Amino acid sequence: MSYCLNPTCPQPKNPDHVSVCQACGSKLILRDRYRVVKGLGQGGFGATFLAVDLQLPGNPLCVIKQLRPSTNDPNVFQMARELFEREATTLGKIGNHPQVPRLLDYFEDNKIFYLVQEYVKGNNLQQEIKRNGPVSEAGARQFLSEILPMLQYIHSQKVIHRDIKPANLIRREQDKKLVLIDFGAVKNQVTPQTPASASDQTALTSFAVGTPGFAPPEQMALRPVFASDIYALGVTCIYLLTGKSPKDLDYDPKTGEMMWQKNVDISENFANVLSKMLEVSVRHRYQTADEVLKALDMEPYLESLAEGLVAKPTGGSGNNLPNSGRDMYDSSPSGKPLSATERLAMAIRNKRNNPNVGSPLGRSGRGAFDTTSTLQTSGRPAKRKVQRLDEESLLNAYVKGRRDFAQQNLSNLNLPEANLAGGIFHQSKLKRTNLQGANLNHADFGRASLVSSNFRDANLGRAYLVGADLEGADLRGADLSYANFRGANLRGTNLCGANLANATITDEQLGVAKTSWTTILPNGKRGFWG
């Protein structure tokens, strides 16, 4: 089918073989190169279409965005042209990132502007959540770890996206990576009221209001900043965790803050990170993607820090901790001063053992995590319903884009050679599960039960195995380079022939595991440990 681009055409659908629209007489082959096959979306100032490129071998698909100025005023038209060219230049620059669609072409035809971009095949996150349901905390953290570096890159190019939301994040079918689309070119409303002294950034952003609910107040007031994208990313996280759009959530009538806490079941530390991303006041929000990444970097290790601390508080237990307990955060029982990490770990341990007592570390404001803050909720958070998956349903869900399998019972499954790279198995049970030869690169097995599981010859490069129970597991010949084993139980784990180059693992852990002359140790050398 050929699709007519004339916005006033009464019947835009045409047969493939015609070159002129049968309803309005408009040319169907745009620029003698692009044949539009269907419409993808339409707004007040333009439309998006799927097209084929007739000049390239194989006639690959592409996306065409059409921008139509809403007036014939020549001054407005010239402003639209300048804005369009600036936007095209920006897209051409940021399109070098592998998670941003490449700009393939841009041109003007009959006073209408067109951008041609790479077509990304896959489902967006809104479709994924509607099909699979909300994700766990581990799934939301995985999402942020993938999106924030991309956002960091976009902001480094002096670009504000202005419309981050689940519908604009597509999981690419080819490699399951998330791709950020729609940089607002078709939503740029051009009007004569633009101040002559507006800066380049204002010209690029002041007309793209964004999506209500996802866009923060300053953006709706036409004053977007880089932190506006941080807010939208936070709202997207709430959608992933709850399956609810912003309009379905309650707001504080006095402050305008989204009241999302009662709808989620997440740790206090992760709730604190989201709360700061969602600050209504832009001054109190994270200002950069790098700030959020730094806050999240410590979050996965808080539990292992607390559990791994050798020195215990000596000033009492339970709710009898003396108010003068600050001294115990300054030195160990041996009298040696504690490091900042040890002080943080002790504060976390004290907070867990004494939930009604604020920690001295939190009161002093030291570090990024205030352990005295509490998550205010009304009502109990709803727990996710966890359904037992078999081999077929697990693999099918992964192929369709699902990555979050946290807290699942996957014991005794037979999954040899499976591709589950990037999968989230946080706190899942995989006892005696066969994953021989599987691709588990970057997978999250934090605090998972992997007792007697088979990972022989599997790819576990950069896997997160903090706090996992690997007792008796078979990891012979496995790629464990850069894997993180902090706090993991490796008693009786078979590491013969495994590649542990640059892995985070202690001498004590290696001492209770099995190694051989073929084992590649963390320092890159081969041989038995010890």
Mean pLDDT of the chain: 80
State percent of the chain over pLDDT 70.
Answer: 77
- Name the E strands within 44-83: 46-53, 61-67
Q: Mean pLDDT, to the nearest integer, of 335-348?
A: 49
- Provide the residue ranges of all domains of the chain, joining segments of one domain with +: 2-118, 122-186+209-299, 389-530
DSSP output for 81-123: HHHHHHHHHHHHHHTTSTTSPPEEEEEEETTEEEEEEE---EE
- Name the E strands within 240-397: 250-251, 258-259
| More confident position, 333 or 187 | 333
For tokens 């008693």, what's the residue? 491
**pLDDT at residue number 376:** 40
Band (21; pLDDT cuts 50, 70, 90): very high
Q: How far apart are CA 146 and CA 381, in angstroms?
A: 26
Band (81; pLDDT cuts 50, 70, 90): confident
Spatial neighbors of 7 by CB under 8 A, at least 6 apart, are 47, 68
**Which of these, 212, 250, 249, 261, lies nearest to 232 by C-alpha position?**
212
For residue 125, how far is the Cα from the chain centroid?
10
Using an 8 Å Cβ cutoff, are 529 and 521 in contact?
yes
Q: How far apart are CA 347 and CA 339, in angstroms?
A: 12
Question: Does the pLDDT of residue 205 top 60, yes or no?
Answer: no
Q: How far apart are CA 222 and CA 43, in angstroms?
A: 19
Fold exhibited by the domain 389-530: Pectate Lyase C-like (2.160.20)
65 is in an annotated binding site: yes
Q: Mean pLDDT, to the nearest integer, of 219-240?
A: 93
* DSSP structure class, residue 280: S
Q: Mean pLDDT, to the nearest integer, of 77-99?
A: 81
Q: Three-state SS for 172?
A: strand
Q: How far apart are CA 424 and CA 402, in angstroms?
A: 9
Q: How far apart are CA 65 and CA 113, in angstroms?
A: 8
Q: Which two tokens stand for residue 372?
A: 């005295």
Q: How far apart are CA 308 and CA 488, in angstroms?
A: 11
Lowest mean pLDDT among 180-189, 208-217, 302-311, 464-473: 302-311
Q: Three-state SS for 398?
A: helix
Q: Mean pLDDT, to the nearest integer, of 233-252?
A: 95
Question: Does the pLDDT of residue 11 top 70, yes or no?
Answer: yes
Q: 16, 73, 163, 252: which is the annotated catalytic residue?
A: 163
Question: Does the pLDDT of residue 200 top 80, yes or no?
Answer: no
What's domain 2-118's architecture? Answer: 2-Layer Sandwich (3.30)
Spatial neighbors of 527 by CB under 8 A, at least 6 apart, are 515, 517, 519, 521
Question: Does the pLDDT of residue 24 top 90, yes or no?
Answer: yes
Lowest mean pLDDT among 221-225, 269-273, 342-346, 487-491: 342-346
pTM over 0.75: no
Question: Does the pLDDT of residue 371 top 80, yes or no?
Answer: no
Question: Does the pLDDT of residue 305 top 90, yes or no?
Answer: no
469 counts as catalytic: no
Question: Does the pLDDT of residue 190 top 70, yes or no?
Answer: no
- Facing residues of 47 across strands? 42, 66
Q: Which two tokens stand for residue 503?
A: 């892995």
Q: How far apart are CA 116 and CA 91, in angstroms?
A: 10
Q: How far apart are CA 2 and CA 34, in angstroms?
A: 10
Top-ranked range on mean pLDDT: pick from 41-50, 307-316, 323-332: 41-50
- Helix, strand, coil % (nearest 5) of the chain? 30, 15, 50
**pLDDT at residue number 193:** 37
**496 CB-contact burial (10 Å; exposed 0-12 / middle 13-18 / buried 19+):** middle
Q: How far apart are CA 139 and CA 429, in angstroms?
A: 17
Query: What is the CATH code for 122-186+209-299?
Result: 1.10.510.10
Longest dimension (CA), the chain: 89
For residue 490, how far is the Cα from the chain centroid?
30
DSSP output for 495-519: -TT-B-TT-B--HHHHHHSB--TT-
CA neighbours within 13 Å on the CB side: how many for 199?
Answer: 6
**pLDDT at residue number 89:** 83
Using an 8 Å Cβ cutoff, are 139 and 237 in contact?
no
**125 CB-contact burial (10 Å; exposed 0-12 / middle 13-18 / buried 19+):** buried
Question: Does the pLDDT of residue 114 top 50, yes or no?
Answer: yes
Q: Mean pLDDT, to the nearest integer, of 304-333?
A: 40
Q: Three-state SS for 270?
A: helix
**Which of these, 301, 252, 253, 245, lies nearest to 275 by C-alpha position?**
252
For residue 359, how far is the Cα from the chain centroid?
31
**pLDDT at residue number 209:** 64
Amino acid at 392: E
**Torsion sign over Cα 510, 513, 517, 521:** negative
Q: What secondary structure, in 3-state letters, does 136-147 show? A: CHHHHHHHHHHH
| More confident position, 3 or 321 | 3
Q: Mean pLDDT, to the nearest integer, of 430-454?
A: 95
